[in-house]
Amino acid sequence: MASGMLHKFLHLTNFRNPFLRTVVPSVAAAFALQTAVAIPSIAAQSERFYDVSGSATFLTVTLLSLYLPGLRTRAAASLAGAPLASLSSPFTATAGFHWRQVALSAAVVFWSVRLGTYLFRRVLHQGHDSRFDTLRGSPGKFAGAWFGQATWVSLCLAPVLAVNAVPPAALAAVPLRVTDVLGLALFAGGFALEIVADRQKGEWLRRRKEKLHDEPFMTEGLWSRSQYPNYLGECTLWTGIATTAAGVLVARPVQVGLGFSGGLLGKLLVLAASFVSPAFITSLLLKVTGVPLSEKKYDAKYGHRKDYQEWKRNTPKFFPKLY
**What's the confidence (pLDDT) of residue 102?**
95
Q: Which residues of 18-42 are buried (b: 16+ CB within 10 A; e: fewer)?
A: bbebbbebbbbbbbebbeebbeebb
Coil, strand or helix: which one is 284?
Answer: helix
Q: Which residue type is seen at 259?
A: G
How many CA atoms, within 13 angstroms, populate the side-chain half-sphere of residue 323?
A: 3
Query: Are 240 and 189 contacting, i.e. CB atoms less than 8 angstroms apart?
Result: yes
Return d(Cα 242, Cα 227) in angstroms, integer: 25
Q: What are the φ and ψ backbone dihedral angles of 69, each rounded to 5 degrees?
A: -60, -40
Beta-strand (E) ranges in 181-293? none
Predicted TM-score (pTM) of this structure: 0.87
Predicted local distance difference test score (pLDDT) of residue 322: 64
- For residue 294, give the amino acid letter: S
What is the spatial distance between Cα 109 and Cα 103, in angstroms, rounded to a whole number? Answer: 10
Q: How many CA atoms lie within 13 A of 267 on its CB side?
A: 9
Count of beta carbons in the 10 Å neighbourhood of residue 265 = 9
CA distance 145 to 202: 26
Q: Give the C-alpha separation, 288 to 119, whole Å.
A: 19
Please give the span between the terminal C-alpha atoms of the chain, in angstroms, as a whole number: 63
Q: Which residues contact 29 (CB under 8 A, 6 or more apart)?
A: 57, 60, 61, 64
Nearest to 240 by CA among 189, 295, 312, 315: 189
Question: Do residues 157 and 108 make contact, with C-beta atoms less than 8 angstroms apart?
Answer: yes
Asked whether the beta carbons of 189 and 243 are under 8 A apart, the reply is no
Residue-wise pLDDT tens for the chain (323 aa)? Answer: 556 666 777 777 777 888 888 999 999 999 999 999 989 988 887 777 888 888 899 999 999 999 887 777 776 665 445 554 444 444 443 457 899 999 999 999 999 988 878 777 776 666 566 666 666 667 888 888 889 999 999 999 999 999 999 999 999 999 999 999 999 999 999 999 999 998 999 898 888 888 888 888 888 889 989 999 999 999 999 999 999 999 999 999 999 998 887 788 989 999 999 999 999 999 999 988 888 888 888 888 888 888 888 888 888 988 886 65
Neighbours of 178 (CB within 10 A): 9
CA–CA distance, 134 with 182 (Å, rounded to integer): 41
